[in-house]
Amino acid sequence: MKKNTYLIFIALSLMLVAVSCSKAAKLENNLTKQGGRWNIDNYKVTIATTELAPVITESGDAGYMYFFDNFDGHWIDLSNPDEDQFLEFEWEITPENTLILRYNNEEFILTKEELTMT
């Protein structure tokens, strides 16, 4: 009886871990499916400081991003018609289902509310 209780406890613990990881795993699988290519239809950058009003820049049809299984990525930025940019970044998904992009020693944090994936 004690052995069965122990096995049930282990099974329930594993199920809890699987459920808690499933949202992050689902986002990871979604980002990397079909070669990991995502078109960027629109993006907005807000730069805020304590002393000045925020500066907001928006761009549409801004190129595309690739998310690879090894947590590297590429962004081909086509927002400036005179100059294409190729950026390499690293990415991860936190247990809270937040996407973090790392580029040039900076972190860019994207929450679920800020991402629109279709």
Sign of the four-CA dihedral 30, 31, 34, 37: positive
Q: Which domain holds residue 77?
A: 2-114
pLDDT of res. 19: 47
pLDDT of res. 33: 86
What are 70's two structure tokens? 């090894």
Task: Say whether pTM exceeds 0.85.
Answer: no
- C-beta contacts of 29-34 below 8 A and 24+ residues apart: 30/117, 31/67, 31/91, 31/99, 32/67, 32/68, 32/69
How much is the mean pLDDT over the chain? 75
21-76 confidence digits (pLDDT tens)? 577 788 888 888 878 888 888 777 777 778 888 888 887 777 888 999 999 999 88
Number of folded domains that form the chain: 1
